[in-house]
Amino acid sequence: MHTLTAFYDLPKEWEVVKLGDIGEPCMCKRVMKYQTTPYGEIPFYKIGTFGKTADAFISKKLFLEYKTKYSFPKKGDVLISASGTIGRAVIYNGKPAYFQDSNIVWIKNNEQLATNVFLFYAYSSVKWHTEYTTISRLYNDNLKNTLIPLPPLDEQKAIAKVLSDLDNYLYSLKALILKKENIKKALSFELLSQKKRLKGFNGVWEKVRLGDICEITTGSLDANEMVSYGKYRFYTCAKEYYFIDKYAFDTEAILISGNGAYVGYVHYYKGKFNAYQRTYVLDNFSEHIIFVKYFLTIFLQSHIQINRNEGNTPYIVMTTLKDFEILLPPLDEQKAIATILSDLDKEITSLKHKKMKFQNIKKSLNNDLMNAKIRV
């Protein structure tokens, strides 16, 4: 090992080491494509599915043979992506799985020098030096020569605990968001299909055409007319909105993607905005617009799947929207349902903002802890 504390301005008890000083790079044995299947016993993770859900499998027999004869991570080892998004790290949980050679690697580290959990967080602050061919790649020499700060073991453990606690909190927030989203989805369906009626409401629901309760037009712009720092929102057929310097609409509207991968995706906005020529703009509603937005979000997609036009790019036509039938309760019940679902949306949005805030806190804290700007 060698100390570069002057370069990093670290405490004297810290070292800066090469990863090759604390262990050897390892990878699994190569698995050939013919040895994999779309379904099977042991998940096989490639670089595209690393940290996600496997889409390929190998036999248990091959897994046991390769695990016994060749390099294989132990539970707790930190797996690293060596191509694609370089340096993405996943702690191996010990469950039977196999990993693509050369694209997914790990350091077989001496835990008396560097703990696995500390390394997991240290990798987040590493400046990875890669070899560039057609794609960037992290080779063994790049990995071995990568520098990391290395505090004493007790401080490594303290740093890892602080960051692990933050991660656990983020996991709990993620789980809560998912729970709230599922509650909202289920409640939306029950309320909008009359399976559940709000207390105090017993009016008759009426079936109407969408085209009879609002005006439906489209934007007039090409999809590529957005600008980076525009003043107004620009709705295309994507899930996200962009920005533009001019507006064509100043209204409260529902916007529906008219073509592409997100055909039928529903936006709501009140204010000045512009729209792509294949984006439908619905405004001047005679009914409660927020209620209609929720109804469209739940039920429009199934209608579109039946009526959309296939081709290189799937699309819907004006009559598909105009003829779409909506079930409408009396206006006071529309407002009550819209309020309940809007409140749930606000709660979910607040939780997502909180999650983003703590993700930024963790990222900043990770860097500060690894640079010893903050000590624990």
3-state secondary structure 305-341: HHHCECCCCCECCHHHHHCCEEEECCHHHHHHHHHHH
- Taking the C-alpha atoms of residue 114 and residue 149, their distance in angstroms, rounded to an integer, is 10
- Spell out the per-residue pLDDT of the chain, length 376, in tens: 444 444 458 999 999 999 999 999 999 999 999 999 999 999 999 999 999 999 999 999 999 999 999 999 999 999 999 998 889 999 999 999 999 999 999 999 999 999 999 999 999 988 886 655 445 788 999 999 999 999 999 999 999 999 999 999 999 999 999 999 999 999 999 999 999 999 999 999 999 999 999 999 999 999 899 999 999 999 999 999 999 999 999 999 999 999 998 999 999 999 999 999 999 999 999 999 999 999 999 999 988 888 666 666 788 899 999 999 999 999 999 999 999 999 999 999 999 999 999 999 999 999 999 999 999 9
**Residue 186 to residue 202: CA distance in whole angstroms:** 21
The answer to whether 163 and 369 have CB atoms below 8 angstroms apart is yes
**pLDDT of res. 131:** 59
Dist. CA 287–CA 210, nearest whole Å: 10
Where is 21: in which H helix or E strand?
A: helix 19-22
Q: What is the model's pTM?
A: 0.85
Task: Compute CA distances 10 → 5, 117, 293, whole Å.
Answer: 5, 21, 56
Q: 3-class DSSP state for residue 140?
A: helix
Residue 23 · residue 106 · CB < 8 Å:
no
* Cα–Cα distance measured from residue 148 to residue 141, given in angstroms and rounded to the nearest whole number: 15
pLDDT in the model for residue 6: 42
pLDDT of residue 309: 65
Residue 323 identity (one-letter amino acid): D
Q: Which class for 300: exposed (0-12), middle (13-18), buried (19 or more C-beta within 10 A)?
A: buried
Specify whether the CB–CB gap between 215 and 282 falls below 8 A: yes
HSE at residue 262, side-chain half, CA atoms within 13 A, is 17
Q: How far apart are CA 116 and CA 21, in angstroms?
A: 15
Sheet with strand 98-99: strands edge to edge: 57-58, 42-45, 98-99
Question: If you ran DSSP here, which 8-state letter would residue 29 be given?
Answer: P
Instruction: Determine the number of helices (DSSP H) and then strands (DSSP E) in the chain.
Output: 9, 19
Spell out the domains of the chain, with CATH numbers in brackets.
15-150 (3.90.220.20), 206-328 (3.90.220.20)
Q: State both tokens at 251.
A: 């209204």
